[in-house]
Amino acid sequence: MKKKIVIVEDESIIAMELEERLNQMGFAVAGTFSRGDTVITKISGLRPDLILVDINIQGSMNGIETARKIKDTYNIPFIYITANNDEETLQRAKQTNPDGFLVKPFHGTELKTVIEKALKKI
């Protein structure tokens, strides 16, 4: 059975590219969302094995707040994807104990390696 992954990314081109890469790697994309509040309301019905979440997303919650809420409520592993790698943001993100980090732009091999490592924890 394919592992299901949810994408939380507000840049539609990047979200589509991620979905395509994940499908090529043999994963199933359970959903793609641009807002944290939306993914939180839908997550229980999707039952993903992993979430890829951008730190800077649209809506009332950023990616860090979204990931923290999902982890606290559902205990689903997550990987941050971000173009923002300043030290303050990274320190805030690390406090949520992510299962991985990817800094944009990243290569497909990096994506697959980080996902496989995170999925081994479950």
The CATH number of whichever domain residue 11 belongs to comes to 3.40.50.2300
Q: What is the pLDDT of residues 44-98, one digit of tens each?
A: 999 999 999 999 998 899 999 999 999 999 999 999 998 877 888 888 899 999 9
Query: What does the pLDDT read at residue 24?
Result: 96
For residue 10, the enclosing domain spans: 4-120
Q: What is the distance between the alpha carbons of residues 43 and 74, in angstroms, rounded to a whole number?
A: 9
Query: Which 8-state DSSP code applies to residue 28?
Result: E
Residue 106 identity (one-letter amino acid): F
Helical residues (DSSP H) of the chain, grouped into ranges? 12-24, 36-46, 63-74, 87-94, 108-120
R_g of the chain computed on alpha carbons: 13
Q: Measured between alpha carbons, how far is 15 from 6 in angstroms, rounded to an integer?
A: 10
Positive or negative, the CA dihedral 85, 121, 47, 116 is: positive
The count of structural domains within the chain is: 1
Categorize the per-residue pLDDT at 16 as very low, low, confident or very high, splitting at 50, 70 and 90. very high
* Rounded distance between C-alpha atoms, residue 32 and residue 8, angstroms: 6
- pLDDT digits over 94-117, tens only? 999 999 999 888 888 999 999 999
pLDDT value at residue 122 = 62
Q: What's residue 102's pLDDT?
A: 92
